[in-house]
Amino acid sequence: MTVWDGMIGQPEAIATLQAAARAAAGQDATPGAMTHAWLFTGPPGSGRSVAARAFAAALQCERLDAVGCGECFACTAVAHRAHPDVHSVVPEGLSISVAEMRAIVARSARRPVTGRWQIVVIEDADRLTEQASNALLKAVEEPPERTVFLLCAPSTHPDDVSVTIRSRCRLVTLRTPRAADVAAVLVGEGIDAETAEWAAAAGQGHVGRSRRLARDAAASDRRAEVLTIPARLTTLQACLDAASRLVAAAEAESAALSAELDAGETEALATALGAGGTGRGVAAMARGSAGALKELEKRQKSRATRTQRDSLDRALVDLAAFYRDVLLVLAGADVPAAHPDLADDVIAVSRRLDATGALRCLDAVQACREALELNVKPIIALEALTAALRLPD
Ligand SMILES: [Zn+2]
């Protein structure tokens, strides 16, 4: 099992990265194969951060002839996010702050401890604030000799990474993996063939989502609940009910996840602040800790908003695929459906819409996704959506 096995259905990207890793290890003289800054883009779920980590492992791999053997200490440490010379930046809130970025840039200038490179992986580089982006740009423009920056950003929003940063990076474009490739991976992980095939189709090229659908009953229940909505939107009351149910489900999912994460963090911070100190120090620490707690609460709130938004967006992606299936039925196209298990609902809805109507529904789902990105209140965006999806009498 090499580090490249996790990159599903991406032969071109693998070839590019392997050539770079070989050049970096001095095994290949292809001029310009290796460079200091890379930008991994691709649709959600195509495995941007998986690709970045595979490349990071290959650059640190101890087997210079194999680059990315998947078995040596370096490869294993990167896979477990424990390599001292590979740092990951994963924004938990809505953006990566300038303070965070300055700290990262400062650390990136150090010499590698054990590996050959000092590697910084920035997941969701589209969430850099403008100031953070500028702080990063300086480092990317004049990278320390042994430092490599690996940025990841969704290709659906290419403009979210500044043009100047993009122009300094080598681009690695990932594509949506085919359902057959995803199903094969799930089978390899021990999932039975029928479930794997269903989850691969329902996940629509999003590997992580397919894996969750195959393994987590709550995720597949939630999907089924969302996908029974279109056929039921016959009255305005039904539309309003559906909107509030969607929002409530997203809130519940986000609350469950946040409660778990928040409690652990708050406790860790309290322990860290409470350790040691007497006399005047204690008073100063009390003032300081109030600030730190407030800062933590702010971050946790921002993360909860993000989780809720992500959860709603997943529901909307499922709905969009539903209307695509409706269009396929109306067009009589012989293309595999995204939701074959909901064929009855798809047919019922296709009897009440024509192609123009189905396209209008698809547009409405897309408009709702954009409204949520622009911070429109979820219930308002969802009510506008479900009203637009109401079936004609
Ligand atoms: Zn290795």
Residues 313 and 368 in one domain: yes
SS3 170: strand
* Contacts with 38 (C-beta within 8 Å, 6 or more apart), sequence order: 52, 55, 148, 149, 150, 151, 169, 170, 171, 172
Ligand 1 centroid to 30 CA: how many Å? 21
CA of 177 to the centre of ligand 1 (A): 25
**Co-location of 189 and 160 in the same domain:** no
Distance between CA 246 and CA 229 in Å, rounded? 10
Residue of higher predicted confidence among 51 and 113: 51
Q: Between vectors from CA 204 to CA 206 and to CA 166, what angle results, nearest 5°?
A: 50
| 298 falls within a domain | no
Q: Mark whether 229 and 330 lie in a shared domain.
A: yes
| 334, 377: one domain | yes
What is residue 68's DSSP assignment? S
Domain annotation covers residue 297: no
Residue 287: left (phi > 0), alpha (psi -120 to 50), or beta? Answer: alpha
- Ligand 1 mean position, distance from CA 78 (Å): 10
At 233 the three-state DSSP class reads coil
Count of CB atoms situated within 10 Å of the CB of 115:
21
CB atoms < 10 A from the CB of 365, how many? 21
End-of-domain residue from the set 146, 173, 200: 173
pLDDT band per the 50, 70, 90 thresholds, residue 278: very low
What string of DSSP letters covers 275-340? SS--THHHHHHHHHHHHHHHHHHHHHHHHHHHHHHHHHHHHHHHHHHHHHHHHHHHHT-----S-G
- Give the CATH number for residue 154: 3.40.50.300
Number of domains in the chain: 3
CA–centroid distance, 67 to ligand 1, in Å, is 6
> Token pair for residue 311?
């959860």
Q: Give the CB-side neighbour count of residue 393, counting CA atoms within 13 A.
A: 2
Same structural domain, 203 and 151: no
Q: What are the tens digits of pLDDT across the range 212-255? A: 899 988 888 888 889 999 999 999 999 999 999 999 888 887 88
Give the residue numbers spanning the domain of 201.
177-215
The residue ranking higher by pLDDT, 89 or 71, is 71
Decide which of 151, 173, 195 is a domain's last residue. Answer: 173
Q: Is residue 279 part of a domain?
A: no
Q: Mean of the per-residue pLDDT values for the chain?
A: 86
The two tokens of residue 293 are 């707690």
Q: Is the CB of residue 123 less than 8 Å from the CB of residue 90?
A: yes
Residue 287 lies in a domain: no
Tell me whether residue 38 is in a domain: yes
The stretch 51-68 carries a mean pLDDT of 92
**Token pair in block for residue 249:** 């489900």
Residues 151 and 235 in one domain: no
Residues 47 and 87 in one domain: yes
Instruction: Give residue 52 CA to ligand 1 midpoint distance, Å.
Output: 15
Residue 21 CA to ligand 1 centre (angstroms): 11
Q: Do 203 and 239 have their domain in common?
A: no
Q: At which residue do the structure tokens 């080598």 appear? A: 170
Residues pairing with 42 in the sheet:
154
Ligand 1 centroid distance, CA of 14 (Å): 16
Domain boundary among 122, 152, 173: 173
Q: 280 pLDDT exceeds 60?
A: no
Q: What is the Å distance from ligand 1's center to 211 Cα? A: 26
Torsion of CA 261, 266, 269, 274, to 10 degrees: -150
Pairing mode of beta strands 37-42, 170-173: parallel
Residues 207 and 239 reside in one and the same domain: no
115-168 confidence digits (pLDDT tens) = 889 999 998 888 887 888 888 888 888 888 899 999 998 876 656 778 888 889
Closest CA to 162 of 141, 133, 135: 133
Helix (H, G, I), strand (E, B) or coil at 40: strand
pLDDT of residue 276: 44
Whether residue 278 lies inside any domain: the answer is no
Rounded to two decimals, the pTM is 0.72
Catalogue the long-range contacts made by 223-226 (C-beta closer than 8 Å, 24 or more residues apart): 223/318, 224/342, 225/249, 226/315, 226/318, 226/319
Residue 55: inside a domain, yes or no? yes
Distance 39 CA to ligand 1 centre (A): 23
Tell whether 244 and 353 lie within a shared domain.
Answer: yes
The answer to whether position 241 is within a domain reads yes
Cα(70) to centroid(ligand 1), Å: 5
Same domain? 51 vs 154: yes
On whether both 12 and 113 belong to a single domain, the answer is: yes
Residues with CB under 5 A from ligand 1 (ion): 61, 69, 72, 75
